[in-house]
Structure 1
Amino acid sequence: MSVFPVFPLSCAVQQYAWGKMGSSSEVAQLLASSDPLARISEDKPYAEPILSAGKMKGNGPAEKRGSGGSKEGEGSLGSSDPSEAPATTPGYFLVAAVIVVWRVWAGDSNELAEKLHLQAPQHYPDANHKPEMAIALTPFQGLCGFRPVEEIVTFLKKVPEFQFLVGDNAATQLKQSMNRDSQAVASALQNCFSHLMKSEKKVVVEQLNLLVKRISQQVAAGNNVEDIYGELLLQLHQQYPGDIGCFAIYFLNLLTLKPGEAMFLGANVPHAYLKGDCVECMACSDNTVRAGLTPKFIDVPTLCEMLNYTPSTSKDRIFLPTRSQEDPYLSIYDPPVPDFTIMKMEVPGSMTEYKVLALDSASILLMVHGTVTASTPTAQTTIHLQRGGVLFIGANESVSLKLTEPKDLLIFRACCLL
């Protein structure tokens, strides 16, 4: 057992192109609040800090603050130790600040992850799967899972450019599948999506330009283009002109999450984050199979083969937490995978002290709002935490948070409840 079972973490911030610019980014604001020496550049994007309690692949791994890369604390992982669980717990835990757009992609299953890792380790560096969950901090927009077939068929009628790329035969097969079983629907949907995604680049650019021109003229004339997501398509095209991923809005559910609502992204579920701020947690894997809306490596054949083609409604894609029976301020997001669980704590500023329960798992605590001093029964010192602060908590350790000002607390905690 480490002699430092609870300690603050320092986290590197990724400046990916899809991040929000400067202080408009929640990530930049959290960084500035937690580090008085941080300087925010208004002309640079701030996308996400990477937080991890265990092994990392080098993407800005979190370190014990002041350790210079010390590994202290790794012995406090409890039953979530890498030798006893499918991934180091709680995997990646981060805040993402997204400005249109991220990428159309999917996380792989364990079986596919192993296969891809063996075949192309330069693109798929892990043999572990990559389920993930995003919890909205602000109104958050994303794409998740295939729409009901009826909705896709409606878009095929209203968007001739979309119909052209899908092809008449595939579109007809999809329409006919509505009166058949789920296997026929999945087969037809895969055929449609594959035809679109495997279209020649030149043809895609031509059709997308025609669609953009048509929508732009309708907008200029004051016509409503909501029925074909006109404004969203123009935004995507502006970010990634000529990209086939722009047509994904006609295949995938568009979700607008309220703060506190979440979407769970299981293996082989296509998705994209469009805009807003969220807290995200995922299994410890760097694998991503991408199809568009990204400058990174794209693997369309693998994506088309691996996806789950079971349609669902956008409502069915929203993941709601459960309230704790022990703690009235605690909400639990427990997805159907063993890799991670996320806890949200909303503590009123009228309280003077709040107890963070001990778990048989290492965990990471992130302060989104509020200022506290943290202490444990075994430590002689206290740790000051404010907005953006991050705390590693070893297995079976409880933490007392004393509020230093009468402001509400918003805290997220990533762990593994095996």
Structure 2
Amino acid sequence: MAKVFKIVPTTQKYDWGKVGLSSKVAQYAAASKIPGFTLDENAPYAELWMGTHVSGPSRLAGSDETLKDHLAAHPELVGERVLARFREAGAAEGNLPFLFKVLAIEKALSIQTHPDKKMAEELHKERPDVYKDANHKPEMAIALTPFTAMCGFLPLPQIAAFLSSTPEFAALIPASIVGHFVPLAASPDPAGPTEKAALRDLFSAVMTAGPEAFQPQLAALVQRYERGDVHEAERGVEDLVLRLHGQFPGDIGVFCAFMLNYVKMEPGEAIFLAAGEPHAYVSGDIVECMATSDNVIRAGLTPKLRDIPNLVAGLTYAAADASRHLVRPASFDSAPHTALYNPPVPEFSVLRAALPAGAAEAHQPLRGPSIAIVTEGRGTIAWGDGALDVAEGDVVFVGAGCGVRMAAAEGLTMYRAFVEA
């Protein structure tokens, strides 16, 4: 039985995806010749899924067997430690604790958060038709191209500055809430319970504002920005407001531009979003890894179900600079061309191997399974007495306890998601 083999991912078309070959998802699907994939240059290719998730299960290359079924039949590929650690998550039945993806974003995703495990269990019990599992969904995004996102609440002084400079935003919030919030914005303890409660009241007031209240204010804001009337404190946010309004006209989620950090990332930079952190991906192509779950609580910039009460209830209200979400890559063993992205969750970590032409590099055995996708170039992956030729778009599974050696023919970049316990 092979410990390393190619698998076939699945593609997902959502209206927010990049169209045709402008999408990394379509590029990888076309390059690797996914069986049954026919490129439609007018279709939005949003996501490439690699894993055992029931909504988009990967299959073994050249076979109809799912990766989940293969792992259930060969638990040694998962490894004893991971089987024991994630038994409740179905590891013995072949379920990986992580889902690996590529996303190609043309249109902003919804203002959303993900529940922690306790809240996920409660939501699944109450609304199993909407919240289809009882797991949490922390996630990490690594930029493949220039990437923008909104993530986490702005520092309180910046929100207060917007309240002072942007009358259309301030008009949505009762004066009593503004009057309580503004003095607290200068607090030396932004994580204090009083400060968090004030931020919660302000955010809730905005997100629950009725259309008759916020749509005239949004229209006035957009008109002001379109004629170039931008106050000094608003510099840098006007383009985001106009972009979001152009994609979701008249949507309350546009006002989140005045409450959430707006980050611009270059390839190789990463952010991690724990439970209870509000966010929305805005544009770009990324590699994403998450705990295996479908649980998303949405509140704006979406045609899907909005669950504002649960979103407001589930946020952490941690207000700080966006740098707290950054995942800084670290060195990995003695592999000079490989970087480790290691977020503070047990379900997943990601390696990025970027080998120049002619270079070779070894990854020592991991205690759990991994999935790798080649995002650039071509080369080989070797192990024991086996080897595979790989090229852009190829996806490979590596079993627990199996060391691999990569060699680049013309430069080789590979992202590898894994779990250890």
TM range (shorter): over 0.9
Aligned counterparts of 1:298 and 1:248: Cα–Cα separation in 2: 15
Query: 1:400 maps to which residue?
Result: 405
What is the identity, as a one-letter code, of the residue corresponding to 2:411? D
Which runs of structure 2 are paired with 1:206-355 in the superposition (5 Å)? 206-218=216-228, 227=235, 229-351=237-359, 353-355=360-362
Cα gap change, 1:90/1:366 in structure 2, threshold over 3 Å: closer, same or farther? Answer: farther
Cα gap change, 1:24/1:226 in structure 2, threshold over 3 Å: closer, same or farther? Answer: farther
Aligned counterparts of 1:362 and 1:78: Cα–Cα separation in 2: 7
Does 2:230 align with 1:193?
A: no
Question: 1:137-161 CA deviation, whole Å, 9 max, x = no partner?
Answer: 1111001110001100111112111
User: What's the CA shift for 1:339?
Assistant: 0.9
Query: 1:126 maps to which residue?
Result: 133
Moved more, 8-17 or 319-328: 319-328
Does 2:250 align with 1:204?
A: no
Question: 1:8-64 CA deviation, whole Å, 9 max, x = no partner?
Answer: 111111111111111111111111111177432221111111111x4x232x22111
> What stretches of structure 1 of length at least 5 have no aligned partner?
none
What is the identity, as a one-letter code, of the residue corresponding to 1:312? A
Whether contact under 8 Å (1:367, 1:411) holds in the other structure is yes
Does 2:379 align with 1:372?
A: yes
Aligned length, in residue pairs: 406
Moved more, 199-208 or 242-251: 199-208
What is the identity, as a one-letter code, of the residue corresponding to 1:166? I
Q: What secondary structure, in the 3-state scheme, does the structure 1 residue paired with 2:384 have? A: coil
Query: 1:92 maps to which residue?
Result: 99
User: What's the CA shift for 1:355?
Assistant: 2.5
Cα gap change, 1:223/1:258 in structure 2, threshold over 3 Å: closer, same or farther? Answer: same
Aligned counterparts of 2:290 and 2:414: Cα–Cα separation in 1: 18
Percent sequence identity over matched residues?
35
Query: 2:417 maps to which residue?
Result: 414
Aligned counterparts of 1:151 and 1:179: Cα–Cα separation in 2: 10
Query: 2:44 maps to which residue?
Result: 45
What is the identity, as a one-letter code, of the residue corresponding to 2:397? F
User: What's the CA shift for 1:378?
Assistant: 5.1
Aligned counterparts of 2:234 and 2:179: Cα–Cα separation in 1: 25
Aligned counterparts of 1:292 and 1:123: Cα–Cα separation in 2: 16
1:9 aligned to which of 7, 10, 13: 7
Query: 1:385 maps to which residue?
Result: 390
Aligned counterparts of 2:231 and 2:358: Cα–Cα separation in 1: 50
TM-score (normalised: structure 1): 0.92
User: What's the CA shift for 1:318?
Assistant: 1.8
User: What's the CA shift for 1:201?
Assistant: 2.4
2:70 aligned to which of 72, 88, 109: 72
Q: What secondary structure, in the 3-state scheme, does the structure 2 residue paired with 1:385 have? A: strand
User: What's the CA shift for 1:126?
Assistant: 1.0
Which runs of structure 2 are paired with 1:18-33 in the superposition (5 Å)? 18-33=16-31
TM-score (normalised: structure 2): 0.92
Q: What secondary structure, in the 3-state scheme, does the structure 1 residue paired with 2:335 have? A: coil
Whether contact under 8 Å (1:73, 1:394) holds in the other structure is no
1:57 aligned to which of 37, 54, 58: 54
User: What's the CA shift for 1:228?
Assistant: 6.0
Whether contact under 8 Å (1:5, 1:73) holds in the other structure is no
User: What's the CA shift for 1:325?
Assistant: 3.5
User: What's the CA shift for 1:224?
Assistant: 8.3
Cα gap change, 1:378/1:90 in structure 2, threshold over 3 Å: closer, same or farther? Answer: farther
2:185 aligned to which of 178, 198, 201: 178
What is the identity, as a one-letter code, of the residue corresponding to 2:172? L
- The CA RMSD over aligned residues, in Å, is 2.0
Query: 1:109 maps to which residue?
Result: 116
What is the identity, as a one-letter code, of the residue corresponding to 1:200? G
Aligned counterparts of 1:367 and 1:320: Cα–Cα separation in 2: 21
> What stretches of structure 2 of length at least 5 have no aligned partner?
90-94
